[in-house]
Each structure stands twice: as structure tokens, then as C-alpha cells.
Amino acid sequence: MKRFLLLVLAGIALFAFILITSLMWYRLFYNDSAITSVSSIDIYLDDENNTIDESGLIPLDANTAKSLTPYEFKVTNTSDSDTTYNVLLEDSIISDDTNYSNKELLSRSQLEYQLSLNGEVIKQGMLTDIKNNILDTRVINPDKVNNYKLRIYVSESAQITEWQNKYYHFNVKIQTEDI
């Protein structure tokens, strides 16, 4: 009877060892670090308003562009440590909307942008100047909120008609990495 009890206990211990080892290997090699770091940041993205404001579909200068309705989003650090994040801007096509299906996508070379952080313009320029789709890279402290406003508009230097009957649709994404 003792032998049987020892074999059962040894079997349970071996099963627990294999299970714990498997979970540790999974966490070490297969767990995506971007997914775990997102839990420390709350991101609010406005998915309804990511097409250029209709007022921005004519060539504008930087001062006039400030009056456009911006695309607004915010990043909140809810963790106990500093977090580094990238704000990414990716081109997007609207294929299932009858308003946009017969229009061409504007080229980035025709568009300028203004990026504001907490009410202050921190970057502006041509969309073609953005490298690797990274609009901004920041370190955010614990319990802090960064409020962004993004305005995209047709450049004042665009040719007279090359921007007509076109649109620009985009997606903003946040990539995070814990420090």
C-alpha cells in the first residue's frame, strides 16, 4: 500500500513539474511582450474621425490648418513604471463606403501634418518626412496622460487640381515597450 501511495504521489509531482515547466517555457518564448506592455497603458483612439476634415481638402497654410477639426487621441500610463511608446500613422483605404469608393487616395507628398501634445504643436511638416510611420516617440511617467491632436491637410504647395476628388484615410496606432 505504501508503494502504491508513493507511486501516486510521484506521478502527481511529475505531472506538476511538467505543467509548470511548460508554462514557464511558453511565457519565456511565446508570450508577446507588446501585448503584456499594453496592459500598463490605456489608449483612447477615435475610430470615427480618421479621415481628413473636409475643410482640409483644399491647400492650406500652417496657421489656417490650426482651425481644422483635429483627430484626437490620448495615452494614459496606468502602470507603476515609466513606459516608452511610439505613435504610428498608417495609410488606410476605405473600400466599403460609397462616399469614398470612387475616389483616389491622396499621396503623402501632397499632405502636411501638425501634431499637438497637451495643447502645444510639437511637430509639423510633410507626411513624407515621417520615417517608418513613427509620428512621435515618448516616455510617459506613471499616472500621466498625454493628449494628442493630429491635423492632416493638403499642402499649400500642392498643384491646383491634383488633390481634387481625392481623400486621405489613416489609422493611428500605439506601440509600447516597458522600460
User: Tell me: the pLDDT tens digits for 104-150?
Assistant: 677 788 889 999 999 999 999 998 999 999 999 999 998 899 999 99
pLDDT of residue 118: 94
pLDDT tens-digit profile of 72-103?
888 888 888 888 999 988 887 665 555 655 56
- For the stretch 18-62, pLDDT in tens is 888 877 776 666 544 333 334 456 666 665 555 565 555 677 888
Instruction: Say if CB 114 and CB 123 are below 8 A apart.
Output: yes
Per the structure, the count of domains in the chain is 2
Query: Residue 143's domain is classified under what CATH number?
Result: 2.60.40
pTM: 0.67
49 in the same domain as 9: no
Task: Give me the domain span that covers residue 24.
Answer: 1-31
Mean pLDDT rounded to a whole number for the chain: 77
- 13 and 74: one domain? no
Query: What is the pLDDT, as a whole number, of residue 36?
Result: 34
